[in-house]
């Protein structure tokens, strides 16, 4: 499978996470601490460079106080994530 195939979806997810993190007043570093993740990993997720696993999606959702489905809303596996 082409590693670049889902890049638009990862970027959209990362943008949503960044938007919610910023709205809640977290710096990237304090957010990473709240999630129990490394700051560089969180940065990669927000830029759409990391394919995060389900457990990390749950950690991020918990730190943002949202359901995982809210992070994934409007992201499609087809048509470049549109």
CATH label of the domain that carries residue 54: 1.10.260.40
The per-residue pLDDT for range 2-50, each reduced to its tens digit, is: 567 889 999 999 999 999 999 999 999 999 999 999 999 999 999 999 9
Which two tokens mark 56?
């990390």
Q: Is 80 a residue whose pLDDT tops 70?
A: no
Query: 28 and 42 in contact (C-beta within 8 Å)?
Result: yes
Query: 10 and 46 in contact (C-beta within 8 Å)?
Result: no
Q: Is residue 82 part of a domain?
A: no
Q: Is residue 38 part of a domain?
A: yes
Q: Is residue 2 part of a domain?
A: no
The per-residue pLDDT for range 3-13, each reduced to its tens digit, is: 678 899 999 99
Q: Is residue 57 part of a domain?
A: yes
The total number of structural domains in the chain stands at 1
- Give the span between the Cα atoms of 18 and 28, in whole angstroms: 8
The packing angle between helices 39-46 and 54-64, to 10°, is 90
- Give the span between the Cα atoms of 46 and 8, in whole angstroms: 12
Q: Give residue 28's domain range.
A: 7-77
pTM of the predicted model over 0.85: yes
């Amino acid at each position: 499978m082409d590693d670049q195939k889902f890049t638009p979806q990862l970027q959209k997810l990362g943008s949503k996470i960044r938007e919610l993190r910023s709205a809640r007043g977290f710096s990237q570093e304090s957010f990473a601490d709240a999630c129990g993740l490394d700051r560089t990993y969180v940065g990669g997720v927000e830029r759409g460079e990391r394919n995060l696993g389900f457990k990390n999606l749950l950690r991020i959702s918990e730190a943002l106080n949202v359901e995982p489905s809210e992070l994934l809303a409007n992201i499609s596996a087809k048509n470049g994530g549109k």
